[in-house]
């Protein structure tokens, strides 16, 4: 049948099982929006307050479900407003397809109104991108975009379509889309045997889980593997929930704001088993001293991550789930009683603590965990509150912690929480923000109200840019250059003006009372929590220092 380019895009979305898209219309994309109008019963369109919010919402939808998130924007500034969200998804390996529409083919390259080379701009921050100048190529390109976004290490793909291509017609033949196969042909028997031998020789192993464990849906396989190895488990920011954070052998996050137990254990272990983690600088601190007493076994789907930042001893390349399914068949049951007892003693000696007086970020996060029984989906912005959310909420399931790890995007969490709440209507979604981050994209509260979402927005307000101030306190002689937010912004009134319920808490008892009301609410609820400006995230490793040189509040 003959269809316009806009109709083909819609049919391709339906082929992929897309039920929700996030976006903002404009002149160049009007043909596509006209078709969306006609298919509103099949594809839900969420109009965000800003295109960046649309990209973050598509990201949150994807992270919380494992499906491909989809966002739309028009040409020029509409497309460029997606860039931060696309880069966020790229750094954290999130499957996303961003669809932009450009000026007509004949107007490209002529500085036309709202023309921008969005494929050139996004080339470094996408797995692949396309500009489709011929309607005959559109269906194949859309299908390829979704395949690339999901295959191997996931990531964002951009498809830019000139306006006349969305209007032109061509023959369209629908097809049945098959789910991409997991990467398994790179899993070599010799690599599996070498890994099993390293594990059998180890006396003090530790398992280090990253975002790949979440992305590959390998939680069950990780749990079985950890039991076979008889090892403690630490994780990255992105790996939260891949292993149950309430287990006794879980030691917490590793790295700059990791637990003292995790950092010391990695420095003391004789085998570090790395599952789907990329050795971020925030994890290893000082590369020369990192896990210097250990052999390192790395399991990853992306061969580019092998020996990139840290020299390793053995690797297995392939999808985490597929690797562990095979490894669990050949690894013999291990036993490390003395090592495991040592880990438990360190956990008792070096617990996470909150040295603050009065209402604090850790108190708020612990209360959220207790009052949700750890069953909520938590999203965050970036900064001190993000670290407290990682430290003091014990994530029991994967895809329940959504945060910008690689790019560190302030303004990410609220959009992500909207995407996650729409994708998971039966779960409670809570975004934890700092006041500096909330300012960046707080207009998305209006989106949450329009969509009647029951999400909860917690703003931990210390009236400063907390994490930057912490660095200024510790490393810049307390010179607080432009990090003090001592203005008269009233987040409660602003939230109410956008249609949300909103209250302010200054004590933990007030927070508990308000949070209980928020949990019962069926509409967006904003809770501002006022804390001290000088509260800090502890423990902390100074940049470039070995991870066992951990500072506490006492230090």
Phi-psi region of 241 (alpha: psi -120 to 50; beta: other; left: phi over 0): left
3-state class percentages of the chain: helix first, strand second, coil last, to nearest 5: 40, 20, 40
The answer to whether 383 and 409 have CB atoms below 8 angstroms apart is no
Nearest of 163, 20, 26, 35 to residue 96 by alpha carbon: 20
**Non-local CB neighbours of 527 within 8 Å, separated by 6+ positions:** 456, 457, 458, 459, 502, 503, 504, 505, 511, 514, 515, 518
**Non-local CB neighbours of 524 within 8 Å, separated by 6+ positions:** 445, 448, 449, 453, 454, 455, 456, 457, 495, 499, 500, 501
Neighbour-count burial of 338, counting CB atoms closer than 10 A to its CB (0-12 exposed, 13-18 middle, 19+ buried): exposed
Nearest of 255, 275, 258 to residue 211 by alpha carbon: 275
Q: What is the largest CA-CA distance in the chain?
A: 72
DSSP-derived letter for residue 305 is G
Beta pairing class for 233-235 and 205-209: parallel
> What is the gyration radius of the CA atoms in the chain, in angstroms?
24
Phi-psi region of 52 (alpha: psi -120 to 50; beta: other; left: phi over 0): alpha
What is the set of active-site residues?
Answer: 51, 113-114, 163, 467
519 by DSSP, 3-state: which? helix
Q: Where are the beta strands (DSSP E) in 63-148?
A: 69-73, 96-102, 128-131
**Non-local CB neighbours of 159 within 8 Å, separated by 6+ positions:** 97, 98, 99, 100, 129, 130, 132, 141, 142, 145
Nearest of 466, 482, 463 to residue 530 by alpha carbon: 463
Q: What angle do CA 321, 325, 331 make, to 5 degrees?
A: 130
Q: How far apart are CA 32 and CA 24, in angstroms?
A: 11
Q: How far apart are CA 359 and CA 350, in angstroms?
A: 23
**Non-local CB neighbours of 430 within 8 Å, separated by 6+ positions:** 368, 372, 376, 377, 378, 379, 417, 455, 456, 457, 458
Using the CB atoms, write b or e for 184-209: b if 16+ within 10 Å: eeebeeebbebbbebbeebebbbbbb
DSSP letters, 161-209, are EEHHHHH-EEE----PPPPPPP--TT--HHHHHHHHHHHHH-SSEEEEE
């Amino acid at each position: 049948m003959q269809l316009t380019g806009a109709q083909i895009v819609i049919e391709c979305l339906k082929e992929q099982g897309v039920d929700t898209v996030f976006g903002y219309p404009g002149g160049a994309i009007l043909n596509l929006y006209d078709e969306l109008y006609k298919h509103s019963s099949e594809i839900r369109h969420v109009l965000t307050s800003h295109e960046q919010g649309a990209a973050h919402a598509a990201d949150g939808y994807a992270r919380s479900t494992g499906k491909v998130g989809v966002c739309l924007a028009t040409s020029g500034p509409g497309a460029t407003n997606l860039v931060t969200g696309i880069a966020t998804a790229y750094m954290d390996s999130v499957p996303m397809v961003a669809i932009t529409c450009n000026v007509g083919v004949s107007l490209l390259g002529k500085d036309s109104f709202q023309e921008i080379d969005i494929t050139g701009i996004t080339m470094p921050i996408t797995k692949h991108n396309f500009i489709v100048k011929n309607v005959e190529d559109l269906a194949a390109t859309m299908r390829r975009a979704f395949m690339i976004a999901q295959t191997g290490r996931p990531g964002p793909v951009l498809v830019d379509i000139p306006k006349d291509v969305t209007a032109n017609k061509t023959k369209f033949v629908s097809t049945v889309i098959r789910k991409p196969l997991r990467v398994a042909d790179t899993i070599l028997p010799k690599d599996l045997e070498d890994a099993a031998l390293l594990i059998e020789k180890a006396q003090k192993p530790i398992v280090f889980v990253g975002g790949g464990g979440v992305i590959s849906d390998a939680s069950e396989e990780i749990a079985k593997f950890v039991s076979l190895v008889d090892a403690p488990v630490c994780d990255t920011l992105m790996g939260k929930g891949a292993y149950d954070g309430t287990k006794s052998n879980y030691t917490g996050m590793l790295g700059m704001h990791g637990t003292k137990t995790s950092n010391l254990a990695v420095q003391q272990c004789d085998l570090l088993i790395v599952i789907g983690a990329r050795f971020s600088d925030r994890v290893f601190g000082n590369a020369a001293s990192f896990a210097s007493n250990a052999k390192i076994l790395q399991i990853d789907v992306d061969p580019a991550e092998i020996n990139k930042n840290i020299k390793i001893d053995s690797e297995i390349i392939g999808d985490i789930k597929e690797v562990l399914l095979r490894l669990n068949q050949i690894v013999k049951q291990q036993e490390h009683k003395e090592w495991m007892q040592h880990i438990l003693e360190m956990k008792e000696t070096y617990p996470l603590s909150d040295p603050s007086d009065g209402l604090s970020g850790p108190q708020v996060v612990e209360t959220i965990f207790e009052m949700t029984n750890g069953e909520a989906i938590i999203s965050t912005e970036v900064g001190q509150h993000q670290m407290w959310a990682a430290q003091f909420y014990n994530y029991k399931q994967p895809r329940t912690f959504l945060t910008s790890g690689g790019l560190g995007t302030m303004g990410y969490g609220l959009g992500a929480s909207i995407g996650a709440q729409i994708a998971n209507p039966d779960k409670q979604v809570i975004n934890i923000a700092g006041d500096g981050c909330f300012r960046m994209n707080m207009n998305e509260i209006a989106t949450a109200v329009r969509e009647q979402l029951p999400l909860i927005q917690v703003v931990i307000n210390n009236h400063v840019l907390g994490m930057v101030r912490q660095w200024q306190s510790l490393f810049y002689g307390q010179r607080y250059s432009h990090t003090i937010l001592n203005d008269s912004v009233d987040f409660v009134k602003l939230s109410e003006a956008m249609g949300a319920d909103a209250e302010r808490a200054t004590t933990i008892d007030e927070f508990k009372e308000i949070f209980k009301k928020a949990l019962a609410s069926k509409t967006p609820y904003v809770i501002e929590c006022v804390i001290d400006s000088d509260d800090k995230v502890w423990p902390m490793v100074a940049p470039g220092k070995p991870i066992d040189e951990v500072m506490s509040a006492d230090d």
